[in-house]
Amino acid sequence: MKALRTKGGNLLLEDVPRPKGSEALVRVLRSGICNTDLEIARGYAGFEGTLGHEFVGVVETAPDAPELLGKRVVGEINAGCGKCELCLAGDPRHCPDRTVLGIKGRDGAHAEYLTLPSQNLLIVPDNISNDAAAFVEPLGAAWGITERVNISPDTRVAVIGDGKLGLLSAMALSLASQNTVLIGKHRAKLEHVADYDIETHLTSDAPKMHNSFDVVVEASGAESGFAMALDLVKPKGSIVLKSTFHGTPTWEAWRVVVDEITVIGSRCGRFAPALDLLSEGKVRVDNLISDKLPLAEGLRAMELSARPGVLKVLLDMEV
């Protein structure tokens, strides 16, 4: 089968054997390219293998879960050891021995087939399209912010960043808070949330919103986002760090102390709430798709995805 892989700092479209083993075998229908894929391809996390962690597919074999056969599924990306305290409590996302689809110790979704433990798979309701289902992982990650910080209807929330992660985070959080503001550099991108109860601002407006927010989500993936988050958050408020930014940002740590700010990291969310949000039509993702290319054009898709102004690029394994 074809697979988009990274090896020794290179990105390659290779022919590799179809995966085997005792896990469920999934034929991939769509996969989504994430900024994390771009960072991994640049060497982040030292991962080598097939990239991709956002997908929808059809289960072809599932030795321990025959009820999944032929079903359209998405899959939680963290596979735990099944034995440690965290795994036994039902949350393998921080299992010290976990593998992560397309990120750590496990081949990913930019391929014709992948395998995952059957307990990671969730059946996709019929009213969610294949294209939309490819967003379950990033939407789960966006909604996952609500697992890490308390957001009620009157919480004042600012999301910094109008890329894929920022847009999805603002969309999701606007369902929890009636005071959600999205701040970005591109007027055209900010327009993607026009159908939601979200106030949008260009970053040039940020100085006017000094100390205004209970919760500030940094989703810009840029160093400047950290300092802006400190400017926007109220004393005793919370900053949620969402982008896997790989520089060493300089920010004035003393302000965290003086203003008693809580700094919170947020990575993966749960899939079930994201499926509900899509199925109920509360979040609509179609306007976030910039392009859809066959897997054979995976290298071009990655290159396209890195261009400024481009939102989600999907790989379509059905063409």
Binding stretches for Zn ion (CB under 5 A): 34, 36, 80-81, 84, 87, 95
> Whole-angstrom Cα distance, residue 60 to residue 69?
6
- Which C-beta is closer to Zn ion: that of 16 or that of 81? 81
- Which C-beta is closer to Zn ion: that of 90 or that of 281? 90
> Least Å distance between CB 116 and Zn ion?
15
What per-residue string of b and e applies to 129-154 under the rule 16 or more CB within 10 Å gives b?
ebbbbbbbbbbbbbbbbbebbebeee
- Which C-beta is closer to Zn ion: that of 36 or that of 305? 36
- Which C-beta is closer to Zn ion: that of 116 or that of 261? 116
> Whole-angstrom Cα distance, residue 125 to residue 137?
15
> Least Å distance between CB 75 and Zn ion?
13
> Least Å distance between CB 187 and Zn ion?
25
What is the β-pairing status of strands 2-7 and 10-15? Answer: antiparallel
- Which C-beta is closer to Zn ion: that of 87 or that of 222? 87
> Least Å distance between CB 286 and Zn ion?
18
CB 193, CB 200: distance < 8 Å: yes
- Which C-beta is closer to Zn ion: that of 156 or that of 164? 164
User: How many other CB atoms are found less than 10 A from the CB of residue 99?
Assistant: 18
Looking from the CA of 238 toward its CB, the CA atoms found within 13 Å total 17
Coarse DSSP helix, strand, coil percentages of the chain, rounded to the nearest 5 percent: 30, 30, 40
> Least Å distance between CB 4 and Zn ion?
14
> Least Å distance between CB 298 and Zn ion?
16
The residue among 288, 69, 54, 262 whose CA lies nearest residue 170 is 288
> Least Å distance between CB 137 and Zn ion?
6
**Hey, CA dihedral for 32, 35, 39, 41, is it positive or negative?**
positive
- Which C-beta is closer to Zn ion: that of 234 or that of 267? 267
For 15, phi then psi, to 5°, come to -95, 120
